Structure 1
Amino acid sequence: MYTLTILSLSWQHLLIVAIILLLLFGGRKIPELMRGLGSGIKEFKDSVKEDDKPVTKTENPTSTTNNNTSN
C-alpha cells in the first residue's frame, strides 16, 4: 500500500528547492518574502487569539430610541 506523507523531504530535496527559489527570486527578494510571511503568520496568530477572548456585552452606541421630536 502506498501512502503519501506530507513534508517527508530529505535534505537533498530541501537543497534542490532552496536552489530553485534562489534562482527564481534572487538573493535580495527572499528576505522580503520571508518578512512578509512572518508578518502574515503573526497577524493570523493575533486574530486567532482575539477570537478566543470571551465576548463581553457592550452597549450599542446607536440605540433604537429616537430623541428627535420633529412633527
Structure 2
Amino acid sequence: MSNIGIPGLILILVIALIVFGPNKLPEVGKAFGKTIKEFKDSAKEITEEKEK
C-alpha cells in the first residue's frame, strides 16, 4: 500500500463515492474496519498458539 500515494488514494475514494454513494460509505468503512480487526485478532491468536 505504500506505493499507492496520495493521488491513488484520492482516486480510490472518488470511485468508492461513485459506487457506494455518500450515504453508504460510512457503513462500508465500518464493516471494512471490523473485518480488518477480526483478521488481526485471528492472526494474533494463531501466532500465540505457535509460540506455545
The structure that is helix-richer by fraction is 2
Q: Which has the greater radius of gyration?
A: 1
Which sections of structure 1, spanning at least 5 residues, go unmatched?
1-5, 56-71
Runs of 4+ in 1 over 4 A off after TM superposition: none
Greater relative contact order (CA < 8 Å, ≥ 6 in sequence): 2
Paired residues, number: 50
Structure 2: which 5+ residue stretches go unaligned? none
Identity rate, percent: 36
Name the TM-score, length of structure 1 as normaliser: 0.52
Q: Is the aligned partner of 1:35 residue 2:7?
A: no
Structural RMSD (CA): 2.3
